Structure 1
Amino acid sequence: MVSRILRKLLLLMYAIIILLPLLMVAAATMKNQQQFYMNPLGLPSSFSLENYRNLFVDQPMIAYFSNSIIVSFTAVLLLLILASLISFGLYRLSNKFAKAILVLFVVGLMVPSQVNMIPIYSFLRDMGLTNSRTGLILVTISLFMPLSVFMISGFMKSLPREVFESASIDGAGEGRMYMQIAIPLAVPYLAATATFLFVSVWNDLLFPLLLITDKSKMTLPLALLQFQGEYSTNYPGLLTGVVIISLPMLFMFLFLQRFFISGITAGSLKG
């Protein structure tokens, strides 16, 4: 009884620690700059949605949203397709060659993306793909491919081999086994990977900052830098943008929560 109460108190404290900064950010979006600097941590004297209105009136937020959605969804979709194909191939091979290839992807995880900034920019410049969504998508895919293969390969190892052996005896080819067996069984795993990748790509600032110069092609994290001036920063406007950026991720997690939790749980149980 005592342990149960203690556990609930700890969970309550943890929830307060998580929610308190979120509530402070939400309250800050209801203030103007004067109110924020006078009382940055307190509640606003009067609640106003003026920052939200100004964000969409003064900035082309629809264009920023469109750019982030195009880059994030395209990159994540292609990552899932390519990484699942590679992972399925490694799973089916299950030999030293497959293990060596997987090791190469793991090594790719050890290389910081900042190390590749100059060669990536030079390569895209020579290809004429700087300041373009296509170039940003290709760079994003290359950067997150090792992580995607590493995650999906771990999930693929938990799939029962007996199912594929029975399908092979019945005359099913590798393509059919991939489409009709591996993908349906791996849906929770793919959803968990997609959620993680989407959050990472959606919040990425480094390579949009490196590659994108045209305001009409900016993603949301890059667009938020416009609220930071040389001598002052519009913190209420900046935090309002942070809230706006967080909403799609929140809705996506709520939509994929069942798959995400089942994927993580299944992966841990099979491991």
Structure 2
Amino acid sequence: MGRRIAIGIYAVLILLPLTMVLLTSVKTLEQTFNNPLGIPIDEGLTFANYVNIFREETMFGYFINSSVVTLSSVSLTLLLSCMIAYGIVRLGNWLGNILFVLFTLGMMVPAQVSMVPLYDLILTLGLTNSLLGLILVNIAVTMPVAVFILTGFMKTLPKELFEASTIDGATNWTTFVRIVIPLSLPSISATAIFLFVMHWNDLLYPLLFVTDNAYKTLPLALLDFQGQYETNYPMLFTGVIIASLPMVLAYVLLQRYFVAGMTAGSVKG
């Protein structure tokens, strides 16, 4: 009973702000300030914000920028992390352990600490105000956590699989593609969702490296609805909902892989 009560309270704490965001997104600015928590029964709700945010704002371009940066960052990070994790597992000696520790130490460096050297590096390379610069930074920043998760799973794979593939004459690349990747799909899917959420919601690095409107991502573009003296909350919350839809869709489609990936490797058979 205590657990159910705690879950119920947690659900209410989640649903209340979510409901407020949804209601505000279908109000006008005047309705929001006159009745911020209620439903305007007399005037009714409007979906004009969802139309105007694409008609009057360049939101579609921001959506494309976020999609390019996120999908490219996730794909390249997963590809490189899978190969690194496989290399660490196959080495299996002190060298593999040292490499694993080095990548793990990368998780301990706060993003704020590396802001100045990263900006200096990107500026020197001429990659400010470019999607390529954001992609490279995302890969470098999230590589440690991806390697950590995938290495932990691949270590649970039976060594007999690698020995059998070697006896059959398979190369390391063949073993990696035909054996390791299929068996690691649950963990790879869970890591993909984790990386997708991190990259899609990232505001720090676009705010740091992008000043041109043509290269803004969705989180950075949402700041345009906040002024010094007034904030357009209906348009802001509409943008938040639109920005959240891809994450919700990705989780719904990959939910079973996400749950399996989080529990995979926790118990060694």
- Pick the TM interval, shorter chain: over 0.9
User: Aligned pair 1:17/2:13, yes or no?
Assistant: yes
User: Aligned pair 1:151/2:149, yes or no?
Assistant: yes
Matches within 5 A, 1:102-117: 102-117=100-115
User: Aligned pair 1:174/2:164, yes or no?
Assistant: no
Match of 2:138 among 131, 136, 140: 140
Return the TM-score normalized by structure 1: 0.94
Aligned to 1:252: 250
Unaligned runs of 5+ in 2: none
Matches within 5 A, 1:36-185: 36-45=32-41, 46-185=44-183
Cα deviations by residue, 1:211-250 (Å, 9 ceiling, x for unpaired): 1111111100000000011111111111111000000000
Q: Residues 270 and 232 from structure 1, CA distance in 2 versus in 1: closer, same or farther, beyond 3 angstroms?
A: farther
Whether the aligned pair in 2 keeps the contact of 1:29 and 1:240 (CA below 8 Å) is yes
Aligned to 1:269: 267
* TM-superposed deviation, 1:7: 4.7
* TM-superposed deviation, 1:24: 1.3
Unaligned runs of 5+ in 1: none
Structure 1: how far apart are the matches of 2:230 and 2:15? 28
Cα deviations by residue, 1:20-71 (Å, 9 ceiling, x for unpaired): 2211110111111122122222224311101111111111111111100000
Structure 1: how far apart are the matches of 2:3 and 2:228? 48
Q: What SS does structure 1 have at the residue aligned with 2:128?
A: coil
Aligned to 1:35: 31
* TM-superposed deviation, 1:17: 2.7
Structure 1: how far apart are the matches of 2:107 and 2:136? 17
Whether the aligned pair in 2 keeps the contact of 1:28 and 1:44 (CA below 8 Å) is no
After TM superposition, the runs of 4+ consecutive aligned structure 1 residues lying more than 3 A away are 6-14
* TM-superposed deviation, 1:9: 4.7
Count of residues in correspondence between the two structures: 267
Whether the aligned pair in 2 keeps the contact of 1:30 and 1:44 (CA below 8 Å) is no
Structure 1: how far apart are the matches of 2:179 and 2:125? 39
Structure 1: how far apart are the matches of 2:135 and 2:203? 13
Structure 1: how far apart are the matches of 2:79 and 2:215? 25
Structure 2: how far apart are the matches of 1:92 and 1:113? 31
Paired letter, 2:18 = L
Match of 1:207 among 205, 208, 211: 205
Q: What SS does structure 2 have at the residue aligned with 1:83?
A: helix
Aligned to 1:225: 223
Kindly indicate which of the two structures has a greater share of residues assigned to helix. 1
Q: What SS does structure 1 have at the residue aligned with 2:164?
A: helix
* TM-superposed deviation, 1:109: 0.8
Cα deviations by residue, 1:129-151 (Å, 9 ceiling, x for unpaired): 11000011001101111111111
Whether the aligned pair in 2 keeps the contact of 1:192 and 1:259 (CA below 8 Å) is yes
Structure 2: how far apart are the matches of 1:191 and 1:170? 29
Q: Which moved more, 1:175-184 or 1:49-58?
A: 49-58
Whether the aligned pair in 2 keeps the contact of 1:164 and 1:177 (CA below 8 Å) is yes
Q: Which moved more, 1:250-259 or 1:111-120?
A: 111-120
Q: CA RMSD in A?
A: 1.5
Whether the aligned pair in 2 keeps the contact of 1:29 and 1:51 (CA below 8 Å) is yes
Return the TM-score normalized by structure 2: 0.95
Whether the aligned pair in 2 keeps the contact of 1:30 and 1:47 (CA below 8 Å) is yes
